[in-house]
């Protein structure tokens, strides 16, 4: 499993998305796109039209993190807009099995995101159907929050479960990822690293991305 850096455009300049994406492209494996509806989380961001625009300006696979209620209604729209990886929240999906199958049927890689208080065990049954699990290390809704160390035990538990069950599962971590928190996350066994403020909040986003990427490669 190769380690990937996934810059989150939530902390980019929304009036200059293409320019900001170009700054980090060389160091990145995925582009993380945070979709918020003002219901599941207390913030509103963007939807399929912006995803379609991003698709036109980058070759990076788009990793769409849906922090929305009723995601089933929008899966086809995100697929059409060019999403490659799509995660829904466990807490937002009463029929998670159906939702995960629908994501795959739309030609995207399915993932499930877990809020900080949601146990890893809630995914025991669905795990073989997933390409990735997104472990939130902050409460979703905003960039720039403080990393919650409780995510480390969850990442370790997922890594162990995937190994024991022989699953080809990527573990993505999202929230407070920075130079300071990366060593513990690497040790815990994460594969994909979402970073918003640590990259786009830096004076030089391309340098910040490169330096995180170098830590992943070391």
Give the residues lining the site for ligand DX5 (CB under 6 A): 8, 10-11, 32, 34, 65, 138, 140-141, 143-145, 174-177, 194-198
211: which 2 tokens? Answer: 């330096």
CA 114 to chain centre: 11
Closest to ligand DX5 by CB, 101 or 115:
115
Closest to ligand DX5 by CB, 65 or 213:
65
In this structure, is the dihedral angle defined by the CA atoms of residues 107, 111, 112 and 114, taken in order, positive or negative? negative
Is residue 91 at the binding interface for Zn ion, with CB under 5 A as the rule?
no
**Which residues are bridge partners to 33 per DSSP?**
64
Is residue 89 at the binding interface for Zn ion, with CB under 5 A as the rule?
no
205 binds, among Zn ion, ligand DX5, none (CB under 5 to 8 A by kind): none
29 binds, among ligand DX5, Zn ion, none (CB under 5 to 8 A by kind): none
Spot the catalytic one: 63, 131, 174, 191.
174
| Residue 137 C-beta: closest distance to ligand DX5, Å | 8
| Residue 59 C-beta: closest distance to ligand DX5, Å | 21
124 is catalytic: no
- Distance (Å, rounded) from C-alpha 41 to C-alpha 118? 15
- Distance (Å, rounded) from C-alpha 40 to C-alpha 101? 22
90 binds, among ligand DX5, Zn ion, none (CB under 5 to 8 A by kind): none
| Residue 50 C-beta: closest distance to Zn ion, Å | 15
20 is catalytic: no
> Which residue from 77, 73, 71 is spatially nearest to 48, judged by alpha carbons?
77
Spot the catalytic one: 34, 37, 63, 191.
34
Closest to ligand DX5 by CB, 60 or 194:
194
Query: Which residue has 């980019």 as its token pair?
Result: 12
Binding characters for Zn ion, 150-189, by CB under 5 A (x = yes): ------------------------x---------------
**Which residues are bridge partners to 87 per DSSP?**
65, 111
Q: Is-contact 21 120, C-beta < 8 A?
A: no
> Which residue from 148, 146, 194 is spatially nearest to 171, judged by alpha carbons?
194
- Distance (Å, rounded) from C-alpha 10 to C-alpha 195? 9
| Residue 126 C-beta: closest distance to Zn ion, Å | 20
CA 160 to chain centre: 20
Site of interaction with Zn ion (CB under 5 A): 34, 65, 174
Catalytic residues: 34, 174
């Amino acid at each position: 499993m190769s380690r990937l850096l996934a810059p989150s455009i939530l902390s980019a300049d929304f009036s200059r998305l293409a320019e900001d994406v170009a700054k980090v492209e060389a160091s990145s494996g995925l582009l993380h796109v945070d979709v918020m509806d003002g219901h599941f989380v207390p913030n509103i961001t963007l939807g399929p039209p912006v995803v379609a625009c991003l698709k036109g300006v980058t070759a990076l696979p788009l990793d769409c993190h849906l922090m929305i209620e009723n995601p089933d209604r929008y899966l086809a729209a995100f697929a059409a807009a060019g999403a490659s990886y799509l995660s829904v929240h466990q807490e937002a999906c009463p029929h998670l099995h159906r939702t995960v199958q629908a994501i795959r049927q739309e030609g995207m890689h399915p993932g499930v995101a877990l809020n900080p208080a949601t146990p890893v065990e809630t995914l025991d049954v669905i795990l073989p159907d997933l390409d990735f699990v997104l472990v939130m290390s902050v409460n979703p809704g905003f960039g720039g929050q403080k990393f919650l160390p409780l995510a480390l035990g969850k990442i370790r538990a997922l890594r162990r479960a995937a190994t024991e069950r022989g699953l080809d599962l990527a573990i993505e971590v999202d929230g407070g990822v920075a130079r300071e928190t990366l060593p513990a996350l690497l040790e815990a066994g994460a594969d994909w690293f979402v970073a918003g403020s640590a990259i786009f909040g830096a004076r030089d986003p391309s340098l910040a991305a490169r330096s995180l990427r170098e830590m992943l490669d070391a």
